[in-house]
Homo-oligomer: A and B are copies of this chain.
């Protein structure tokens, strides 16, 4: 057998032919133990169809590892492999650090600025290529999408494949007017929930890896209510099989995140006990501790539950949205990821017709409060190809500005921002300082944001005996203008435009 090598935080995959009697998905097991000098990991494998069982492993250290594979699938297997240093651009999986922040396993801070394309990966090859090209152009570093297909307004078509063997209902009866009558129904579908469809998952893996190449985290939405096939109301045993199967396949990819659900509170068939059960599955079956969340429609899940690593938030108020970020940070004590603060677009639904300006304003309101904004786009399209669900091309204005914010965040000393302690002078602006600063006065770095307001100027009092770099950030035009280096009382001209920010850095 040739020498096996894998890079640190890469994915080792071993494949073995095995038993095909009975139902290999439910009747046989494959489990491996991977031992290196610094870690021992056990992980489940999975049946990939065609008589092949596979098992995957993501090493966290370099050096020689041994593996031992057992289970009922066939004869035990063992061997060794070498883990080499991570290649450039591979920073490892993302972790929560310092309560409210993220970093990659190699310590590099990570600032999620994500987007949402619910079922981009279930579209045609051509559309998927287009989406990946759009993502390469944009600067998003996280994308939320579903494992199950989506049934909703503008989402009446069939997916390229189904997660289980079987046949779907006849969707030719669907119209924009009647589609909601089929939501959550199961009639006409014939899926065998004991037989996952390997081709469906294999394809999703290719998409996860394509994202990995672009440096994008894949925030996998495991369940969601927008369903006409019955996947949202499977019995507990089917759910468990699905979860275990998906985790066995996906967990060893370093850029995977688990989102238990999109809009969990709209899934009438599921109870809190169900969500806690999935939470347990996630913590027990992912040996790598990928980020775990659960996303609301109206009512937040209790984000203090220990299996939840970060808050995946849909804004609860139509008007005051990202502005609650600092309150949520305090309430839940975890990173606040604003996975839906409404989308830029022009469709009829109130969550999908923001201007680009308002979307970018929400980015900044969220980010400067120490949260992480998410993007989405819902423009009417002659063929109903909306980025929010299908990917494709980006048509709006806000996506162009995600990278500017990301660069500002990367320039913050430490690993993120938090809102400064409030002062009388700050009542009408958003004042952020580095997360680790003991206080605003000691921080040596200030970021002020003026949102929809448009002051012609602002005044500041800096210590007299210090020098500071003062930069004016136009968050819409994406320009940075350095104005002066001075302490004492200063007046900064902002031009009476909205969406301006001031960045101040102590230089001496």
Given A346-B496, A496-B346 in contact, is the A353-B319 Cβ separation under 8 Å? Answer: no
Given A318-B428, A496-B353, A498-B355 in contact, is the A455-B347 Cβ separation under 8 Å? Answer: yes
Copies of this chain in the oligomer: 2
Instruction: Tell whether A350 is near chain B: CB-to-CB under 8 Å.
Output: yes
Q: What is the CA–CA distance of A134 and B347 in the complex, to the nearest angstrom? A: 40
**Interface size class for chain A?**
20 to 34
Q: Is the CB of B496 within 8 A of A452?
A: no
- In the complex, which residues of chain B have a beta carbon less than 8 angstroms from the beta carbon of A346? 454-456, 496
8 interchain residue pairs of minimum CB distance: A350-B428, A346-B496, A320-B320, A346-B456, A348-B455, A353-B453, A319-B323, A319-B320
Shortest distance between the CB of A398 and any CB in chain B (Å): 13
The residue from B323, B347, B454, B489 contacting A353, defined by CB atoms under 8 A apart = B454
Considering only CB atoms, which chain B residue lies closest to A318 in the complex?
B428
Indicate with 1 or 0, residue by residue over A436-449, a CB within 8 angstroms of chain B CB atoms. Answer: 00000000000000
Shortest distance between the CB of A7 and any CB in chain B (Å): 47
Q: Is the CB of B452 within 8 A of A355?
A: yes
Instruction: Tell whether A302 is near chain B: CB-to-CB under 8 Å.
Output: no
Instruction: Tell whether A458 is near chain B: CB-to-CB under 8 Å.
Output: yes
Indicate with 1 or 0, residue by residue over A5-23, a CB within 8 angstroms of chain B CB atoms. Answer: 0000000000000000000
Instruction: Tell whether A349 is near chain B: CB-to-CB under 8 Å.
Output: yes
Considering only CB atoms, which chain B residue lies closest to A365 in the complex?
B319
- In the complex, which residues of chain B have a beta carbon less than 8 angstroms from the beta carbon of A353? 453-456, 496
- In the complex, which residues of chain B have a beta carbon less than 8 angstroms from the beta carbon of A380? 456, 496
Where the two chains meet, the residues of A that have a C-beta atom closer than 8 Å to any C-beta of B are 177, 317-320, 323, 346-351, 353-355, 358, 380, 427-429, 452-459, 489, 496, 498
- In the complex, which residues of chain B have a beta carbon less than 8 angstroms from the beta carbon of A355? 452, 454, 498
Q: Is the CB of A317 within 8 A of B320?
A: yes
Considering only CB atoms, which chain B residue lies closest to A456 in the complex?
B346
17 A-B pairs with C-beta separation under 8 A? A177-B489, A318-B428, A319-B323, A320-B320, A346-B454, A347-B455, A347-B456, A348-B458, A350-B427, A350-B455, A353-B455, A353-B496, A354-B454, A355-B452, A355-B454, A355-B498, A380-B496
- In the complex, which residues of chain B have a beta carbon less than 8 angstroms from the beta carbon of A348? 455-459
- In the complex, which residues of chain B have a beta carbon less than 8 angstroms from the beta carbon of A320? 317, 319-320
Q: What is the CA–CA distance of A16 and B32 in the complex, to the nearest angstrom? A: 108
Known: A318-B428, A354-B454, A355-B454; 12 extra A-B contacts, CB below 8 A, are: A319-B323, A346-B456, A347-B455, A348-B456, A348-B457, A348-B459, A350-B455, A351-B428, A353-B453, A353-B454, A353-B496, A355-B452
Q: Is the CB of A452 within 8 A of B351?
A: no
- In the complex, which residues of chain B have a beta carbon less than 8 angstroms from the beta carbon of A323? 319
Q: Is the CB of A428 within 8 A of B349?
A: yes
Q: What is the CA–CA distance of A319 and B324 in the complex, to the nearest angstrom? A: 10
Q: What is the CA–CA distance of A182 and B355 in the complex, to the nearest angstrom? A: 45
